[in-house]
Amino acid sequence: MSGIRVMLADDHTILRQGIRAILEAHADIQVIGEASDGRETVTKALALKPDVILMDIAMPSMTGLEATRQIKQQSPQTKILILTMHENEEYILQILQSGGSGYVLKRAAASELVHAIRAVYQGDFFLHPAITKALVSDYLKRVQSGQEVTSYDRLTDREREILKLIAEGNTNKEIAELLSLSIKTVEAHRVHIMEKLGLHSRVDLVKYAIRTGLIDIHS
């Protein structure tokens, strides 16, 4: 049957079997292959050409990050979702820099794993909302220190206020309630903010943060 063709890469057989059982319960997902180490993952990925690879970050013979880099160089259309125990900026930026489309924590619920696979298949990044908050917060710190002034100066007072609330982790609905605005108005402001900063989606925000060094992964 057709659907999202997924490959599993993890050196723990029991974990792969568990994930396979979870994914195969969904009609739109098809597990087409498995690999137990980094080199095998690269070889099978290039042969099978899956839509999405669920990749463990720590595997024998080659790390998941290196395997990701090699696969993306030869098969850029393949989406790679990293499976990891780590949730910190350094790991996440390394994942994105290697060509990964995001990450799922090993402690995540089955529903989150399925949602993540569907999201990256559609071309989105899958990141925890806290990471988006961290990216915006670091942007604001650079503004306050005198960096990124030109783009920040393009924002109106209201847009700066909304940007601050976004950085604090508020949803559009929460921002609307705090500022006595409609949700549609907040959404419009958010679009204008992204456009003025040259960022048109969360994906662009992440790419921009990496490209311009908004976050120092060595700090």
- Residue 102 domain-assigned (yes or no): yes
- What's the pLDDT at 219? 37
pLDDT for 193 equals 83
| 110 vs 112: CA distance, rounded Å | 5
pLDDT digits (tens, 9 = 90+) for 58-93: 898 899 999 999 999 999 999 999 988 876 666 777
**What 3-state class would DSSP assign to 82?**
strand
Query: Does any domain span residue 217?
Result: no
| DSSP class of 102 | B
Examine residue 61 and state whether it is found in any structural domain, yes or no: yes
Token pair recorded at residue 64:
């998941």
Strand-pair category, 29-35 with 52-56: unpaired
Are 8 and 67 contained in the same domain? Answer: yes
- What's this model's pTM, rounded to 2 decimal places? 0.65
Q: How many domains does the chain have?
A: 2
Range of the domain at 156: 129-212
Q: What is the pLDDT of residue 10?
A: 94
Q: Where residue 11 sits, what CATH number does that domain have?
A: 3.40.50.2300
Helix axes 64-74, 89-98, angle to 10 degrees: 30
| 88 and 137, same domain (yes or no) | no
C-alpha–C-alpha distance, residues 83 and 56, integer Å: 5
pLDDT in tens, 180-206: 999 999 989 988 888 887 776 655 555
One domain for residues 46 and 86:
yes
Amino acid 136: pLDDT: 64
The stretches in the chain having pLDDT less than 50 are 1, 214-219
pLDDT of residue 216: 42
Pick the last residue of a domain from 104, 121, 138.
Answer: 121
- Output the pLDDT for position 144: 66
